[in-house]
Structure 1
């Protein structure tokens, strides 16, 4: 599949991704189907991992470490992933990454079988969860920089936000469907640890099936006749050069974004725990001709995630269009503010399902600023350098964010003095979430004061 396209002066059509898909253009169909399959698998599983680990006996600190390892993978994988893709070609890279993710889902599925085996104080099932993570995120390592570069080449500078809204709309449709599927699969089960484990294994089995279908489809149907094979990775010197070449306009955005993402990373993995265990928020409704329907906290969490993504999909395109009138900076700042405020609102909310629905609908607004955020990252880059600028930006941000989940876990659960073994800090969930909000608001304020507007949107 050729990635080269002529620059377009027309406005990006946010529904173009769907039109191409339903027109059944072969390469678009293959890549779109694979993107949907793996995104669906990730969304059915990743947001529930803390609940799964808790049911298997993991402590809050261990769950925080899981989030930190996930941050390591997110930071480390994309750059070598792109180098591998350039070296062996997109077809084989897609197949390898898809196979890794599918195997990762399988390892998570099998983890409870190892619960009776321990390595010191740690259950082997928890070790398997960490091992599965290294595999499950394989497919996500492909194409981040390329996606940014393609949009930059294909869309006029003044319509970059709308162009990113087009790609995000299709991908995040799976983000909407995935949690709803998880909610339906959780519905027949209760809230005990054993039932949570069984329900999540059913979800993982579905994720494995989607992973197999996505991997086979992209390998068999992908046309590799125009697949470019690049040269070998030039080494760390190339990476350092890319970091030094980052446009000056990006530095205030990078600082603010990193603070906001660090804050979100402190508590993101624990959102499910707040709903299912800290507040135990379920939903019971009476429906005509059906009667009373009771959703467990685990099932209701999936509905909340679906609501969050529905709001994101409904607002993403209009907000991207609005950015063309008011500028990128205020839209990005809006997304940052939602990221920052959500943790303290969530942890302090009473256990009322209606209030939690409003909160997760509010959380969906953070995605509304995502296309503008991406446009602000890639916009200042020189033509032909969008992928490298994007890769350098995300690598630096994600490396700094790595310890965030572990920090959040320690603030939540406390820690002991390693010398005496006595409790050095008791920990408190409200403290962890409040600290996250404080750091997020600091990042938002920094960006509002020092951030620069992309010239095409002024």
Structure 2
């Protein structure tokens, strides 16, 4: 990304800055958009899909923890594979594997249950298998993405730089669930209608894979070196900047809390509150009856959440230049922390849920500043390693969170699970407020 001289005051400016990216990074970002679209169309609805396939709340919690394991372990081997076979072919392989994951999810009900010896394999097991494949593309270049922005953006404008790429990528988080909601509403049986969603996700996976293979110019890619194994990881852990440690502790507690209940958000709407939307919309003298099932309505709620996120990310990043990164990051942490207790106590009302998910969108206000605070203290040329180390530590600690939340959901109560999550999140936010330090470029 070229260094910015113009002011970034909103989402439109962020899109304009995004399209100033050099061609290879632009292609990668567009491919990321395609895969994010496919993943966001499907991932947030998978717990409901699993319930339809016979899974319990505890199994869904285990599924969330399985996703945490993948998030923690994939980046390093993904980088090693990329170094071994080259970025272009690695991207193609990862794209194909991710698309295969969507296909496994699509055909899970068709495969059905089967018996191996005395053990019955339930059809929801294929959702685990599909996740193992579907997240493959995300294993490429998390740290490299951070490093590109750091190298190409002035230190005092890091948050704005991240807001530019993040706003574009997060658009897929808005479009995906809304498109899924439209498809889900096409058939009254969720198991049937969600397979329409999965079929479209497969198409996006194929398009993203083909586009990146033929458009990505690997000769311009200068990021990344050979993977040095466990010794390199240990050295990176020792060399992590001291300024990051309070941020890491607070962030890990907040993410652990969110991880306890994240996979159950859809079930709160569809199974506990059972809220859909029945209303009449009058436009230009014509009236339209709108009737949405709870799963379809959940998709629109995610759209509301991400619309607010897109509207606030760039202005918040600009605001950070005046007040510093820490206050903006703390606001995002606070919304993360209290959202579970707000959601579980929301009345069974469509209007109330719209307001609650709009509030949830505010947590993304701190995301660009958070990324700037992670990579800012890193030495030149070390942004990717610092980022990779940070996320490896955080994601490893967060691994058991969903299983713990699932156990509380299944064997105690959803209310207790969400309340404990909120308490942990508040502790993490408080710790960061007390001990967190400001990046000197923003001080």
In the alignment, what sits opposite 1:82?
79
In the alignment, what sits opposite 2:431?
446
CA RMSD of aligned residues (A): 1.9
What secondary structure sits across from 1:247 in the alignment?
coil
* Cα offsets for 1:179-199 (capped at 9, x unmatched): 110010011222xxxx11111
In the alignment, what sits opposite 2:142?
144
Shift of 1:221: 2.1
Shift of 1:166: 0.5
Shift of 1:84: 2.0
In the alignment, what sits opposite 1:420?
none
2: CA distance, partners of 1:90 / 1:344: 43
> 5 Å matches for 1:88-99?
88-99=85-96
Change (3 A) 1:309 1:121: farther
Change (3 A) 1:410 1:450: same
1: CA distance, partners of 2:137 / 2:335: 28
In the alignment, what sits opposite 1:403?
400
In the alignment, what sits opposite 2:308?
311
In the alignment, what sits opposite 1:457?
442
* Residues 11, 159 of structure 1: 8 Å contact kept: no
> 5 Å matches for 1:9-408?
10=5, 13=8, 18-19=15-16, 26-27=23-24, 30-119=27-116, 122-190=120-188, 195-228=189-222, 232-288=226-282, 289-408=286-405
* Residues 17, 164 of structure 2: 8 Å contact kept: no
1: CA distance, partners of 2:279 / 2:320: 39
1:434 equivalent among 405, 419, 424? 419
* Residues 18, 168 of structure 2: 8 Å contact kept: no
Shift of 1:125: 1.5
Change (3 A) 1:80 1:294: same
* Residues 12, 159 of structure 1: 8 Å contact kept: no
* Cα offsets for 1:113-146 (capped at 9, x unmatched): 1223245565342221111111000011111101
Change (3 A) 1:229 1:307: closer
Q: With the length of structure 2 as denominator, give the TM-score of the two structures.
A: 0.94
In the alignment, what sits opposite 1:424?
none
Unaligned runs of 5+ in 2: none
Change (3 A) 1:11 1:449: farther
2: CA distance, partners of 1:229 / 1:275: 43
1: CA distance, partners of 2:316 / 2:19: 25
* Residues 145, 390 of structure 1: 8 Å contact kept: yes
Shift of 1:230: 6.0
* Cα offsets for 1:397-431 (capped at 9, x unmatched): 000000000000000111xxxxxxxxxxxx10000
1: CA distance, partners of 2:199 / 2:238: 45
Change (3 A) 1:122 1:268: farther
What secondary structure sits across from 2:303 in the alignment?
helix
What secondary structure sits across from 1:314 in the alignment?
helix
* Residues 12, 166 of structure 1: 8 Å contact kept: no
* Residues 18, 164 of structure 2: 8 Å contact kept: no
* Residues 79, 227 of structure 2: 8 Å contact kept: no
* Cα offsets for 1:262-317 (capped at 9, x unmatched): 00000000000000111101011102324321110000000000000000000000
What secondary structure sits across from 1:188 in the alignment?
coil
* Cα offsets for 1:70-113 (capped at 9, x unmatched): 00000000122122223322111110110110000000111111
2: CA distance, partners of 1:299 / 1:118: 34
Shift of 1:23: 8.3
* Residues 94, 215 of structure 1: 8 Å contact kept: yes
2: CA distance, partners of 1:36 / 1:231: 26
* Residues 163, 317 of structure 2: 8 Å contact kept: yes
What secondary structure sits across from 1:44 in the alignment?
helix
Range moving further from structure 2, 83-92 or 26-35: 26-35
Change (3 A) 1:18 1:326: closer
2: CA distance, partners of 1:260 / 1:384: 29
2: CA distance, partners of 1:430 / 1:179: 26
